[in-house]
Each structure stands twice: as structure tokens, then as C-alpha cells.
Amino acid sequence: MKLLLVEDEKRMAQALCEILRLEKYDVDWRADGNSGMDAVLSGIYDLIVLDVMLPGMSGFEIARRARRKGIKAPILMLTAKGELDDKVNGLDSGADDYLTKPFMTKELLARLRALSRRNLSSADGSLTFGDISLNADTAELSCLTNGQTVRLSEKEYRILEYLIINRGQILTREQFAVKIWGYDSEAEYNNVEVYMSFTRRKLTFVGAKTEIKAVRGIGYELRCTDV
């Protein structure tokens, strides 16, 4: 799960990044509103955590612009303010939830888990689409119609997770390269094609009718029309 943290308090941000990475989140950190806005608009994040008071641009404004641009990733707003009007402002700006500082780490993690599951998961917390289910705890892919399962590699899991979360969208090779390997990676685009092939084989192995379709000249999307 790829997460963006936009927080200008360096010590807090470093501590949160360490905690979140221990919880298996792939975290990027931005320390000001303008660079945070640029990162949000990249569209590669599954979860966004925004501080309200930021240099350059407030968290409220980032959330408003993100929603206007069609960014659908859940947004958790962090604020030192506890007044009702500030909470309402955050939600009206497009945030899905808010957390008032200071907060307990357990509560933050619980809120993030709830946001990541919203509208995407089944009752047991696994991600589902068509006739497939993806278990985050075991990194297993299952076919819902025949019960067949297979273990996925980290990158195979993240490819399917990204496709399921962005169901109905065509995702480019560039988006996959940044999403799976990161901004600073020297991975080439043929790596995307190689791992996409591996992931397709796993879908075939479990007998799924859900497929990763290549859209010529654009990218990939997840389709399931025969369930």
C-alpha cells in the first residue's frame, strides 16, 4: 500500500515514516504544501495523510484541489486544532477522516486500515474484484469460484493491488514503474512488462476469469466479464 505523508514537522514526520514502514506501508514524505500537491497529483498513492498547517499551501487547499482533479485516494487530515469548524472544514475540503494532534499511534493505524478497506474489501479485509481475492496478510491470490490459491511475490501482489484499487481505470507503464519501483529507481519499463507477465500467469494458474488487459499505446487495466 503506497502512502503519501505531507507533514512539515520533521521529527514527527520521521517518526511516522518509521512506524508506517514497519507496518508495511510504502511511504513517501513531503515537507511543504507545494511539493505535497505535486505528489498528490501524480495519482500513484493509495492513501494520503495531510497536515493542515503547511508552508506554501494548506492541507485544506491540497484536498480541495486533489478532489477537483479527480484524485480518489482516501485522505486523512492531521490537525492540531480541535474545534468543530476546523473538522467540518477538513471534511468539506474532501478529506475522508481527520485526527487531532496529539494522537496515539494505534488510532492512526486503525484509521488508515479502515480507509484502505473502504469500498474495496470483503468482510475478511481482503481486496476483491471479479472472481479474485487478494489477501494482504498472506500475499495470496485466490479464485472465488474454485477456491484455488497461489502465493504472490511482493511486486506481483502490488501490481494486482494497484489494479484492484484503481478498478475501471487504465494505468500506464509509467504509473506502474513509479508505483512499484519508486521515483528514485532506475528500473526500466520492460521490468513492468516482465512482472505483468508473471502476474498474468498467476491469474491463469488459479483459473481466474479476471484478466490484466493491455490497452495498446496506453497501459493496462483489470477486466472480468464472464463471472
The CATH number of residue 177's host domain is: 1.10.10.10
pLDDT of residue 197: 95
201 lies in a domain? yes
Of 149, 151, 121, 130, the closest CA to residue 207 belongs to 149
Task: Give the domain CATH number at 81.
Answer: 3.40.50.2300
Edge to edge, the sheet with strand 75-79 lists 26-30, 2-6, 47-51, 75-79, 97-100
pLDDT more than 70, % of the chain:
88
Is 39 within a domain? yes
Candidate from 34-38, 90-94, 167-171 with smallest mean pLDDT: 90-94
* Separation CA 6–CA 29 (nearest Å): 6
- Domain final residue, candidates 60, 94, 117: 117
Residue 131 included in any domain = yes
From first CA to last CA, the distance across the chain in angstroms is: 27
In this structure, are 86 and 137 located in the same domain?
A: no
CA angle centred on 164, ends 158 and 166, rounded to 5°: 100
Question: Both 112 and 160 in a single domain?
Answer: no
Same domain, 79 and 139: no
pTM over 0.75: no
Highest mean pLDDT among 74-83, 124-133, 167-176, 215-224: 215-224
pLDDT cut 90: percent of the chain above it: 45
**What mean pLDDT is predicted for residues 159-174?**
86
Same domain, 171 and 73: no
- Among candidate residues 89, 117, 145, the one where a domain is terminated: 117
Per residue in 80-115, pLDDT (tens digit) is 766 556 667 767 788 888 888 888 888 899 888 888
Using alpha carbons only, give the angle 219, 221, 225 rounded to the nearest 5 degrees: 145
Based on the domain organization, do 26 and 79 belong to the same domain?
Answer: yes
List % helix, strand, coil for the chain (3-state, nearest 5): 40, 20, 35
| Rounded Cα gap, residues 188 and 173, in angstroms | 10
Question: Domain for residue 58, yes or no?
Answer: yes
Residues 59, 50: contact at Cβ < 8 Å?
A: yes
For residue 122, tell me if it sits in a domain.
Answer: no
- Measured CA to CA, the distance from residue 15 to residue 222 in angstroms comes to 36
pLDDT above 60 (res 122): no
pLDDT of residue 62: 95
The number of distinct structural domains making up the chain is 2
Task: Say if residue 92 is in the same domain as residue 12.
Answer: yes
Which residues form the domain of 34? 2-117
- Confidence label for 201 from pLDDT (cuts 50, 70 and 90): very high
